[in-house]
Amino acid sequence: MQLNALIRQTRLLPSEYRLKRDRDLAYLMELKEENLLFPYYTEAGLNGRLNYRPEPWLHGGWDSPLSQIRGTFTGHWLSAAARLYQETGDIRLKAKADYIVAEIGRCQEANGGEWAFPIPEKYLQGLKQGRHFWAPQYVCHKVMMGLLDMYQYADNRQALQILEGCAAWFSRFAADISRETMDDMMDLEETGGLMELWADLYGITRSRQHLELMRKYERPRLTGPLLEGRDILTNMHANATIPEIHGCARAYEVTREERYLRIVESYWRLAVDDRPPFATGGQTDAETWAPPGKQAARLSDMNQEHCVVYNMIRLADYLYRWTGEKKYQDYIELNLVNGLLAQGFWEARALDGALEPHIPDSGIVCYYLPLAPGSVKKWGRKTEDFWCCHCTAVQANARYREWIWYQSGAVISAEQFIPSETEAEIDGKKILLRMEDCDLGGNYLRYHDVAGEITSRPAFRRIQITVSAPEPTAFTLRLRLPWWLKDRVVVSFQGDNQGENSSQEENFSRDKNSSQDENSSQGKKIFSPEENGYLQITRLWSGTQQLILELPKGLTCWPLADEPDTVAFLDGPVLLAGLTEHAHMLYGNRNRPESFLAPDHEREWEAWKEGFRTVGQQENFRLLPIKNIGRECYTVYFPVNTVCP
């Protein structure tokens, strides 16, 4: 099944995802154009004599004027701005992004018409001689990536013109480089996603020049062993290789050459299928792949680099679109919830700020998500750091809508349960779909029957999907039933033509040996969770109808691969972290974690909270979702013994 993501048609609705997106947009607007452009002006000789001491408002860290990768962040900024503009229509953001593109174009002209980058050309020329510079091709990729997204998502034609000039420079640069020298250069410094960039550009222009660049930037010392099925990932830098596999993935899409597909599938098998992830969904320590099955000795303060999380989500998306296999979306969900939400755009609760006479604390990104006992997140600041993960944070939080809705012909798939709305077209007829979390509490100042009936935090998640079909349209709605389901799924309908449809033959099916309860009644249909299952609803949709899903959830123990008695706890897909400095020995049944974990502070005003607490232990403590932790000290993995002392 070949699926296409419904990106441009999708908009986020209020949720924690949109909150992060909005913080991202506000941050992009807060940064000053002159700072984002400073290294570009300097390289083009447009900054004047610079005979003064740099002011403190200039960017610091990896984007400082003396950094060898200065200006990288601006490419990520443009990419995020383009996608956010296309979703939100914010004309202020569009004007700011267009101005930055125009100024980069002015710098390109001052540099002779091709070079448009914030670093000297000699950095790349030096790579040919084996000299060490800090990732100059990586820098060039990020700038061109931002320009490409400005063309594709913000309809900026100048961005494509600048990009084609840059490609002309690279064609001349790469023309006389031997394969061996190119391989040595790729071993010396990261090239980022240059192969993917050239494949993207080839997909637009169909220029042989761009196709040749794509092939030149394949890395045979990586792809060769992958084609042979050899595991060369152990202790290898993860985020240097994932973008190179993105290049093979995009190359497969624009050329349909099967060898590229085999490379991508081999990498995924070695990185994920044969290398079980931590409970967060991430797999790395100190930016390298751990050996398969070896986790206990790799818990540290440098687990789960944000860039790896983001780029592996992108890789999973490629594979899902080609295959329709649920495992890739389960992987995306785990990494969205316990990676991107846990590592980006944190702000202390407004309540905290109300109680203290200061602005609430905040952070842009956690480079790493520590998993060792007694961990503390280290948050990057607005203008002082600009790590690579700072860069991917602004991109990732602009892209949540891209992993929700997909379409293949007359099949529409809802993969992530993120409040959103989208539009699809089937046989020339437009369909509107809206996904929302059902409110089980409501306004606490007003009486609700449901509020009195649900006296404890619900052990299920209730999702409402509204389908609006102005003209009668037959299609299949395909719903992912996630790995964490604890019981049978309940589905109910209500809407304009429910009476008409209820008298017709309606096709509810489950992929992979579906099972439907024969006793379902009263407009409800009940399904048992099956491995790799999807709920597929095929019907003639007409008018406005609502589909309500009840997805039962509960606690799950996630053991370390090489220490099965040491576990982390998840509530549905949400990883819980204990607010303690120590990995206390816990006593209880690992198959029934609810026997020694209980809800904690489960209600706050109109909302259900997500915390837990240990019960019956020698020393009890609270647990919170790792995505909600700011600067608290926490521990994720605990030894569990079934025998109490």
**Letter for the amino acid at 406?**
Y
Q: Are 562 and 293 in contact (CB under 8 A)?
A: yes
- Give a yes or no: residue 575 inside a domain: yes
- Candidates 380, 286, 388; CA nearest to 67 is 388
Q: What pLDDT was estimated at residue 154? A: 97
Confidence bin at 607 (pLDDT 50/70/90) = confident
Q: What pLDDT was estimated at residue 358? A: 57
Q: What pLDDT was estimated at residue 349? A: 75
Give yes or no: residues 513 and 616 share one domain. no
Confidence bin at 53 (pLDDT 50/70/90) = low
Q: What is the average pLDDT across 4-12?
A: 96
CA distance 74 to 398: 15
pLDDT in tens, 212-236: 999 999 999 999 999 999 999 999 9
pLDDT in tens, 135-147: 999 999 999 999 9
Give yes or no: residues 408 and 537 share one domain. yes
Whether the predicted pLDDT of 323 surpasses 60: yes
Whether the predicted pLDDT of 453 surpasses 80: no
Please provide the average confidence, as pLDDT, over all residues in the chain: 90
Q: What pLDDT was estimated at residue 56? A: 65
In sequence order, which residues have a C-beta less than 8 Å from that of residue 513 and are 6 or more positions away?
A: 530
Whether the predicted pLDDT of 108 surpasses 90: yes
CA distance 537 to 384: 51
- Give a yes or no: residue 625 inside a domain: yes
How would DSSP label each residue in 391-434? Answer: HHHHHHTT-GGGGTEEEETTEEEE-S---EEEEEEETTEEEEEE
Q: What pLDDT was estimated at residue 524? A: 59
Q: What is the average pLDDT across 506-510?
A: 51
- Give a yes or no: residue 452 inside a domain: yes
Long-range contacts of 513-519 (CB under 8 A, 24+ apart): 517/488
Confidence bin at 498 (pLDDT 50/70/90) = very low
Q: What is the average pLDDT across 81-106?
A: 98
CA distance 551 to 271: 30
Give yes or no: residues 546 and 613 share one domain. no
Long-range contacts of 239-244 (CB under 8 A, 24+ apart): 239/190, 239/287, 239/305, 239/307, 239/308, 239/311, 239/388, 240/190, 241/267, 242/308, 242/311, 242/312, 242/315, 243/141, 243/191, 243/192, 243/193, 243/196, 243/311, 244/191, 244/193, 244/195, 244/218, 244/219
Q: What pLDDT was estimated at residue 513? A: 38
CA distance 196 to 186: 15
Q: What pLDDT was estimated at residue 189? A: 86
- Give a yes or no: residue 618 inside a domain: yes
pLDDT in tens, 337-364: 999 999 999 998 766 545 555 566 899 9
CA distance 292 to 231: 10
Whether the predicted pLDDT of 280 surpasses 70: yes
Of 259 and 293, which is predicted with more confidence?
A: 259
- Candidates 9, 14, 33; CA nearest to 153 is 9
Lowest mean pLDDT among 1-15, 257-271, 387-401: 1-15
- Give a yes or no: residue 445 inside a domain: yes
Q: What is the average pLDDT across 558-571?
A: 96
Token pair 């609705």 is found at 13
Give yes or no: residues 425 and 519 share one domain. yes
Range of the domain at 567: 555-641
Give yes or no: residues 510 and 544 share one domain. yes
Distance of alpha carbon 7 from its chain centroid, rounded? 14
Give yes or no: residues 453 and 533 share one domain. yes
Whether the predicted pLDDT of 86 surpasses 90: yes
Confidence bin at 583 (pLDDT 50/70/90) = very high
Whether the predicted pLDDT of 193 surpasses 90: yes
Confidence bin at 438 (pLDDT 50/70/90) = confident
- Opening angle at CA 365, ends 364 and 367, nearest 5: 150
Q: What pLDDT was estimated at residue 47? A: 84
Last residue of a domain, one of 529, 552, 575: 552
- Give a yes or no: residue 26 inside a domain: no
**Letter for the amino acid at 387?**
W
Whether the predicted pLDDT of 622 surpasses 80: yes
Of 171 and 131, which is predicted with more confidence?
A: 171
Of 569 and 517, which is predicted with more confidence?
A: 569
CA distance 76 to 28: 10
SS (H, E, C) 488-532: CEEEEEEECCHHHHHCCCCEEEECCCCCECCCCCCCEEEECCCCC
Give yes or no: residues 419 and 491 share one domain. yes
Say what percent of the chain tops pLDDT 90.
80
Work out how many domains the chain is built from and give that number.
2
Long-range contacts of 317-320 (CB under 8 A, 24+ apart): 317/5, 317/402, 317/403, 318/246, 318/249, 318/250, 318/264, 319/249, 319/264, 319/265, 319/268, 320/3, 320/406, 320/415
Q: What is the average pLDDT across 101-130?
A: 94
- Give a yes or no: residue 70 inside a domain: no
Give yes or no: residues 630 and 527 share one domain. no
Lowest mean pLDDT among 11-15, 247-251, 534-538: 534-538
